[in-house]
Structure 1
Amino acid sequence: MDSQLIVHVFLVGVGATLVMDAWALARQRLFGIASLDYALVGRWLGHMRHGRLRHTAIAKVTPVRGERLLGWCCHYLIGVVFVGWFVAFVGAQWLCRPTLLPALLLGAVSVAAPLLLLQPAFGMGLAAWRVPNPWRVRLRALVTHLVFGGGVYLAAWLGAVAGC
């Protein structure tokens, strides 16, 4: 990957993650639906250095120093990595001529990360099966990740318009 492509992927990943976070903020303000506290992601990552990958209830685990910053940085890094994998799969030319369907498919596929990795590690069970309303949690995760996919398309489109 050349440096211009790396910058483009970075900007699309950050832009798409910003769209996802704007959706989460709007959902919280309009409907009172809380989003993931990324400090918990930082807490999970912080406890990994002690060999602890899975917790019964992450919210009850001892906080780690800098967990909020660590969680938010990881959240944006994951968005960039997903876009990097996507571009490696579909080809860099997609960034100059983005189409919506592949970006939405990325969003749909990316929901596997919280369902299969994060939720079990946080003590929620595989695909949130241990929470009171698992289908609601799954649907919200899917919608949020489809919004991420829409953000990938929007950020790539803005980049293409700006001059690819």
Structure 2
Amino acid sequence: MDLIWAGAVIGVGGTVAMDLWALLLDRVAGQGRPNWGNVGRWVAWLFRGRVFHDDIGAAAPVAGERALGWAFHYLVGVIYGVVFALIFGRAWVEAPVLWMAWIWGIVTIAGGWFLLHPGMGLGWALSRTERPWKGRLMGLVAHSVFALGLWAAGLLL
């Protein structure tokens, strides 16, 4: 059970790091922050039996979708952290290694590229967006920052 709690903590740490990165990009580069409302709308539609949309923005809005999107974002971060801790075990928690966290951070982008993005109508790995390679690169950087957050949270444990 301690390993699960440790995983939850490092998952939150990774997610916070990713959010701080998004805030920095917004403030410094005018990148714009993620729209967690659209993610919340997608999650709400999952419970109604619909996984894939042509355009999630065209789907009927759902009450509380922004809060649901934020909650889902952190839930996924916690799940990724717990799975990471279960895979790499107590040895990693006791002596965090950055490269292991970084590999995991890169692996976790698959959830967005192959489920969330196509589900929201953005195509596999953002293929239906205006500049898919920019989005893919930004996602890889964000997930690398997630990995740094996992590692930093592991060090703090």
Q: Which residue of 2 aligns with 1:113?
A: 111
Q: 1:91 offset after TM fit, Å?
A: 1.2
Q: Which residue of 2 aligns with 1:74?
A: 72
Q: 1:131 offset after TM fit, Å?
A: 0.9
- What SS does the corresponding residue of 1:104 show, helix, strand or coil? helix
Q: 1:152 offset after TM fit, Å?
A: 0.3
Q: Which residue of 1 aligns with 2:48?
A: 50
User: Partners of 2:107 and 2:30 in 1: how far apart?
Assistant: 27
The alignment's TM-score, normalised by the length of structure 1, stands at: 0.92
What percent of counterpart residues are identical? Answer: 39
User: Partners of 2:106 and 2:100 in 1: how far apart?
Assistant: 10
Aligned residues: 157
Q: 1:11 offset after TM fit, Å?
A: 1.4
Q: 1:46 offset after TM fit, Å?
A: 0.7
User: In the alignment, does 2:84 pair up with 1:94?
Assistant: no
Q: Which residue of 2 aligns with 1:8?
A: 6
Q: 1:117 offset after TM fit, Å?
A: 0.9
Q: One-letter code of the match for 1:27?
A: L
User: Partners of 2:96 and 2:7 in 1: how far apart?
Assistant: 13
Query: 5+ residue gaps in structure 1?
Result: 160-164
User: Partners of 2:99 and 2:20 in 1: how far apart?
Assistant: 21
How big is each residue's C-alpha offset from its partner over 1:79-98, in whole Å with a ceiling of 9 and x where there is no partner?
11111111111112211100
**Larger relative contact order (Cα-Cα within 8 Å, sequence gap ≥ 6):** 2
8 Å Cα contact 2:12-2:81 kept in structure 1: no
Q: Which residue of 1 aligns with 2:125?
A: 127
How big is each residue's C-alpha offset from its partner over 1:41-68, in whole Å with a ceiling of 9 and x where there is no partner?
1100111222111111112211111111
Indicate which of 21, 29, 34 corresponds to 1:36.
Answer: 34
Q: Runs ≥4 in structure 1, deviation > 4 angstroms? A: none
Q: Which residue of 2 aligns with 1:162?
A: none
Q: One-letter code of the match for 1:12?
A: I
- What SS does the corresponding residue of 2:63 show, helix, strand or coil? coil
Query: 5+ residue gaps in structure 2?
Result: none
The alignment's TM-score, normalised by the length of structure 2, stands at: 0.95
CA RMSD of aligned residues (A): 1.1
